[in-house]
Chain A
Amino acid sequence: MEIVVRPHVQNFIDWSRDKPEVVVLTGDLTNSCEVGLWADTYPDRFFSMKMAEQNMMGFAAGMAREGFQPWIHTFAVFIYRRPYDQLAMSIAYPNLPVRFVGFLPGLMTPGGVTHQAIEDISIMRATPNMTILETGDATEVESVLDVAHAVDGPVYIRMLRGEVPRLFPADEPMRLDQVRILSEGNDVTVFTAGITTEEAMRATAPLTARGVEITHVHVSTHKPFNDPLILESIKRAKHGVVTLENHTIIGGLGSAVAEVMAENGVGIRLVRLGLRDTYAHGASRQFLMKEYGLDALALVRCIEQLLGRSTGIEAADLESIRIEAVHSLAKAEAL
């Protein structure tokens, strides 16, 4: 698997070159959000708004009203928790073209509960006018810019940084409200997004080798959620549907799939894997994914339950785990 180191850094610089309306605002996490070089390249378009997120939302709103395209870069938690009223009233209500680039979605950081955005999709899904995107690999980190740029209104992005795998061909960019079908089969349909896609791919090959047919659907647009392939993929599952999300199971991908199933009268089982109405704590991504049951082995066990039989798969049979060092040089700090 190809690992791309900090794909956002140069790509965002190149992409912004012919777009003078694009400005960047940060909240004292400039290098942590991979826009330090962007700031050096375009100092006139860069605004350090310090640790004052409520005010940052208002400044972004004002600039957006005047024709700029503000791209706020900060940790995801600091976008939707502290300044939610400002996000909703100053930006979302007037449908302004502000792009929120949220880093460290879900359990991606040993920074612990204060840095882990585990209910962001729920809150943003409930916010009118908001489009929600999530990047699952380097190709999507690169192509999410065009997708967001084309949206008439605010866009929230769950962004990846540091060492990012390339799961999808570079010439197959993210498209708004279009899922990717990564494998096809009629036993179980699995929905994943963001880092859980890489995780699920560790399990799908050994499952297939043991005769379990999986339709694996990768989601990069949480809202809107209307791609016809979503319902088609649900309907073909004989034994049930599983969602695996780096997020609480209340209000995120699992809920979105449940809504599609219920509204279309699809009478099959759904199991939602993810954080089960709990906060987490500071530890490595791999440790937390295992602890909270959103790793490849948890997916295998869940599928076995739906099938009503064991597959004989053990941890050693899974595709090898990819471990990003906490002190990777690809990150500005250990967070």
Chain B
Amino acid sequence: MNSWTNSTQTVADGIRRRVLEHVLKNDGGYMSQACSSAEIFAMLYARVLRLGPSGGPLEPRDFLGVPGPGVPFFSGADYNGPKAPEYDRFLFSPAHYALVLYAALIEVGRLAENGLDRFNEDGSTVEMIGAEHSPGVETTTGSLGQALSQAGGIAIARKRRGDIGSVWVMMSDGEFQEGQTWEAIESLARLELDNVRVIIDANGQQCDGVLDVVNNAASLATRIAAFGASSVEVDGHDLGALDEAMTRDTGLPHFVVAKTNPVAGLPLFAERAPALHYLRFTSNEERGRYEAAYQEMVS
């Protein structure tokens, strides 16, 4: 492994470790999302995204209020650096991955080491399902499938201004069940918005269990291409493959379908399948085995 893959894998490992630590501490959490997308977030924040220095405070802000006319509002987007022509923008679509996003921000030094201490704490912006006051969050997308269209609007504006930066969107495969996602892909292709780039965590998991693998995950790249965008399917834990796929210039809105394993890096979690959406321990014995896995990660 060369130096960038080493450092990026360290970030990915750190994301898994921090999320598991949080799950152990709080007796529950979105663990499978971290297992499947750790390399994706590591690639985004440590390798692919062109971001300026964070403008957000290392210690996460207190909740100050929702957006409204004439009221002060702080956007969590400032953790992704300034909006400037040369920089990328990052829209985070499946807000249920908030814990993973915060862990990634900590790993790359945009959020304090103890930032997760305020996760889901009353009065904190480090919310369980983030909104646009949460660190690293530009659009409020807890209602799934809404970020891609907004990325299209931002991409139109950026093209008109002549910005060279891209608009990156991180999505989950479940969001391709929403009709709006397909409306958006069709529009992105028709409007030739090749400055939109999408990375999809295709972990085959959703709240009710396993996605229908035959109808959904397996054909996702094909269906995206049929709508006029470019798509490529890669192993979502292979940093080299992700790098090639994510940086490929196709002249079209570009979608990387990252096939991932929802228990990657935490194989004992597989015994919970298919109920992987949320991890809560059922016994002290089970908790002990996850403690042991955590100790192995930190040793």
Contact = CB atoms under 8 A, between A and B. Distances in A.
Interface of A: 47, 49-50, 52, 54-68, 70, 85-86, 89-90, 93-95, 128-129, 151-153
A64 B161 CA distance: 14
Given A55-B180, A55-B184, A95-B69, A68 B157 contact: yes
B234 to A, nearest CB: 27
B187 interface: yes
B183 A65 contact: no
Interface residues of B, number: 33
Interface of B: 66-70, 131-132, 139-143, 146-158, 161, 179-180, 183-184, 186-187, 191
A150 to B, nearest CB: 11
B231 to A, nearest CB: 19
Given A93-B140, A94-B140, A95-B67, A54 B153 contact: no
A152 B156 contact: no
A90 B150 contact: yes
A49 B183 CA distance: 9
A62 B153 contact: yes
B153 A89 contact: no
B127 to A, nearest CB: 14
Given A62-B149, A86-B149, A129 B67 contact: yes
A128 B68 contact: yes
Given A90-B146, A152-B70, A153-B69, A62 B152 contact: yes
Nearest to B142: A89
Nearest to B181: A55
B149 A90 contact: yes
A62 B67 contact: no
Contact of A89 (B143, B158, B161): B143
22 contacts: A47-B191, A55-B183, A55-B184, A55-B187, A58-B180, A59-B187, A60-B153, A61-B150, A61-B153, A63-B154, A63-B157, A64-B153, A65-B153, A66-B154, A66-B158, A67-B157, A90-B139, A93-B131, A95-B68, A95-B69, A129-B67, A153-B69
Contacts of B183: 52, 54-55
Q: Which of B68, B154, B156, B180 has the most CB of A within 10 A?
A: B180
Contact of B151 (A57, A62, A64, A93): A62
Contacts of B156: 47, 59, 62-63
